[in-house]
Amino acid sequence: MMTDAKLTPLQALIGQGVIGHQKIIRLLQAWVLQPSHGYVLHGVSNLGKHLLAEQFIQALIFREGGTAVALRAHPDVIILQAEEGKKSISVENVRKARMRLLEKPMVAERMILYVPQADQFHEEGLNALLKVLEEPQAGTVFIFVADTIANLPATITSRMVLVPFQTVPTAEITQALMERGIEPEQAAVRSVRARGRVGSALLNEDRDNAAAGSFLSAASLGERLELIENLVKACDSSEDVTKEWRRALAEWGEIFRLALPRTPGKALIAGEGVITAQSFVGGPLSPRLPLEAAAVRLSSAQPFKNFFPTHIPSVFPRIFI
């Protein structure tokens, strides 16, 4: 095991401020000295994959005596991602990146292709990139980050080093939050809600937590519809609409799960709305529709009529266990 005292300056760039993932940090610190030509960092969102990927890239382009440069400003780092408002990486951008990779690096010792959302590739884009993956220029390193590798074909993953990220233990997150000045009780609550996702604990996601709680306790349909409207505006105006909807709905679902012991009926109705909304994300129908249906049911005179027991078997396993 490498200790901090034995790390070179470029190795020391990796792992700063990261909570958990010590094994991965040590691997990246070792790999940076003699990198492979490709890596896929994968795991559920908000684990710290992007932070470590970008620290790894900074180390790969590190020059003795130099200063850190924003990756988007570095001439030898190509960032390949979907254009604003688009759901997938265009073939045209893949081809531009491929042409740039045929050139020599301008400043660093190597070229880096960074794909922060490799899930955004579609088949045509992957096929356009496959040629350079099969025959990479000497020294070129490919860094992919993905929530899942299920949509990446074996022709890609078989040529890359797969780096799976796991959730971080709750106690470790709690300790890290307290070291950052968070009160122990609040740190414990945030850690439990995060369910191992460090980014969620650090961001706290107060907006979603408060809104979901208010959705259950609201006194009127109007209040619930206003909360949904605010959620829709926040998600639809974000840079990555699909990803923001998935994140926000996951947070609402977690709050409803935690509310089960106190208000089981309301939590189950709201949970059913979240589950259906999650299935609508990225499709032709807005996720707001099932949320509004849940709001109407919760605000009705008989919210549980025709809900029990048929809904329990379908709702309970999917979101609350």
User: Tell me: the pLDDT tens digits for 18-66?
Assistant: 999 999 999 999 999 999 999 999 998 889 999 999 999 999 988 755 5
Note the pLDDT of residue 231: 92
d(CA 151, CA 173): 30
Contacts with 99 (C-beta within 8 Å, 6 or more apart), sequence order: none
d(CA 316, CA 272): 9
Domain 4-164 fold is Rossmann fold (3.40.50)
Note the pLDDT of residue 317: 44
Looking at the chain, the number of H-run helices and the number of E-run strands are: 14, 5
pTM of the model: 0.66
Q: What is the SS3 assignment for 38?
A: strand
Note the pLDDT of residue 5: 57
d(CA 142, CA 278): 32
Give me the amino acid identity at 233.
K
Note the pLDDT of residue 77: 93
Note the pLDDT of residue 7: 84
Tokens representing 136 are 């990479």
Note the pLDDT of residue 206: 56
Instruction: Give me the residue spans of the domains in the chain.
Output: 4-164, 205-319
Tokens representing 39 are 């890596």
Note the pLDDT of residue 9: 81
Give me the amino acid identity at 125.
G
Do 186 and 230 meet the contact criterion of CB atoms below 8 Å apart?
no
**Nearest CA among 28, 34, 45 for reference residue 246:** 45
Question: In which residue ranges of the chain is pLDDT below 70?
Answer: 1-5, 64-69, 85, 203-209, 304-321
